[in-house]
Amino acid sequence: MGLLEELEILKKEISKKSPDTKPTPQKKPVSEWKDAYIITFGLADKKPVQKVQFSQALVGRTHCIGLLQKLKGRKLGNGCVLVPAERLGELENFMKERKVSIEKQKILLVE
């Protein structure tokens, strides 16, 4: 008996023992999809004080909210944020004021 035949037998035995109980994922209607942008930026040319000030203005501090919360955006990682498409202009202005270059990628967001 070859290896492929043994694998087929094992597959059949496993499928008999474990019923398929995976829930069917519910698809969201297209009307619930939202345009958003993933924005990447770098602060390598900034001084440490400028980096802290930028981060606090963007993300916020313990008792203060930052621009991302006002825009209903999210921090995805270091140098990467997600912003709704209708609020992109506000984030671009924020970045221009601080002379931070950005790259943007438009996406469809299903929440």
Mean pLDDT split into 10-residue runs, the chain, 111 residues: 72 66 64 88 94 94 90 93 95 95 92 71
Residue 103, burial from CB neighbour count under 10 angstroms (0-12, 13-18, 19+): exposed
Q: Using alpha carbons only, how large is the chain's radius of gyration in Å?
A: 23
Catalogue all structural domains in the chain, each as residue range(s) with its CATH number: 32-110 (3.30.70)
Per residue in 43-62, pLDDT (tens digit) is: 999 999 999 999 999 999 88
- At residue 17, the pLDDT reads 62
